[in-house]
Amino acid sequence: MRNRTSRRRPYCLRCYAPLKGELRKGARTICPRCGFVNLKVDRAVFWTKERRLLELESLAKGVIVVFMVVIGLLMLWGAGNKMSFGLGQGWAVGFPILFGVLLWETASKITRWKPYLRVGLVWSILAAAPGIGLLLVAMLPELSPLARAVLAATSLPWFGVAFGIWRLEAACARWRARRILAQGPS
Ligand SMILES: [Zn+2]
């Protein structure tokens, strides 16, 4: 599984130096190379506690919070103007919240394992959804061949983006593995 690297070789979460068997002694291990206090409880959650990556995660989450507040205010404004009261309102509220949660969880993967969460897969499916919709519309019998061709062609970029996101997740996983192994057992 994705957690294999952490199980195979305990390493310092800040500098990736190997921690040889010292983890068994207790809940915390001080790194012999950089002095970082590695907590056992962190090891289960984080793949890294490198300062720059922690800062990047905080920054990303800050941007997400601002983004969600703006969306929330826009929706309040929309509700104030009686734009969408009705059956669709549950979706109108729920969808941005789900989107926000997904963004948040994606940012969490900057430093955390979260092996249960395939954010790349979820984003790929979301990106492919409009392409699938366009293809379905292209199958409508009343459309002209030209309209079908245009719709089918328009669906292709969505699948391209979906494929790109899927490959990006794989690249991120490789980058993470290389980073962990970069220091190597010394
Ligand atoms: Zn260290």
Q: pLDDT tens digit string along 56-69?
A: 999 999 999 999 99
Give me the pLDDT at residue 181, please.
86
Determine the distance separating the centroid of ligand 1 and the alpha carbon of 41, expressed in angstroms. Answer: 16
Determine the distance separating the centroid of ligand 1 and the alpha carbon of 182, expressed in angstroms. Answer: 13
What average pLDDT is seen over the chain? 86
Contact criterion met (CB below 8 Å) for 14 and 36:
yes
Q: Is the pLDDT of residue 179 over 60?
A: yes
Determine the distance separating the centroid of ligand 1 and the alpha carbon of 28, expressed in angstroms. Answer: 13
What distance in Å separates the CA atoms of residue 31 and residue 38, rounded to the nearest whole number?
A: 7
Contacts 24+ apart (CB under 8 A), 125-134: 125/162, 127/158, 127/161, 127/162, 127/165, 128/158, 128/159, 128/162, 129/158, 130/155, 130/158, 131/155, 131/156, 131/157, 131/158, 131/159, 131/162, 134/158
What single string gives the DSSP state of each residue in 2-24? TTHHHHHS-B-TTT--B--SGGG
Determine the distance separating the centroid of ligand 1 and the alpha carbon of 169, expressed in angstroms. Answer: 26
Determine the distance separating the centroid of ligand 1 and the alpha carbon of 23, expressed in angstroms. Answer: 13
Residues lying with their CB under 5 A of ligand 1, a single-atom ion: 12, 14-15, 17, 31, 33-34, 36
Give me the pLDDT at residue 19, please.
85
Q: Is the pLDDT of residue 92 over 80?
A: no
- pLDDT, mean of residues 139-159: 94
pTM score, two decimals?
0.81
- pLDDT, mean of residues 46-56: 96
Q: Is the pLDDT of residue 148 over 50?
A: yes
Percent of the chain with pLDDT over 90: 59
Q: Is the pLDDT of residue 160 over 80?
A: yes
